[in-house]
Amino acid sequence: MTDPRGRFADTETTAAGTPRAGTGWGWILAYGVLSVVLGIMAFASPFSATYAAT
């Protein structure tokens, strides 16, 4: 009846009390993975990476 946790605690936090990931976390993760892959490719083929950067 007078539970201060309410609906916000059920949807916005985990059982441990930490906030849940927002709706855009997948895009941030995909950008990070793509950046790592492109970085590895730049080290593997430095001529192509230099040509693409100029």
Start-to-end C-alpha separation, the chain? 65
Tokens of 25: 């976390």
Q: 19 in helix, strand or coil?
A: strand
Interval 26-54 mean pLDDT: 88
Angle at 45 between CA 40 and CA 50, to 5 degrees: 100
Furthest C-alpha separation in the chain: 67
Q: Could you tell me the pTM of the whole model?
A: 0.54
The pLDDT-based confidence of 49 (bands split at 50, 70, 90) is: confident
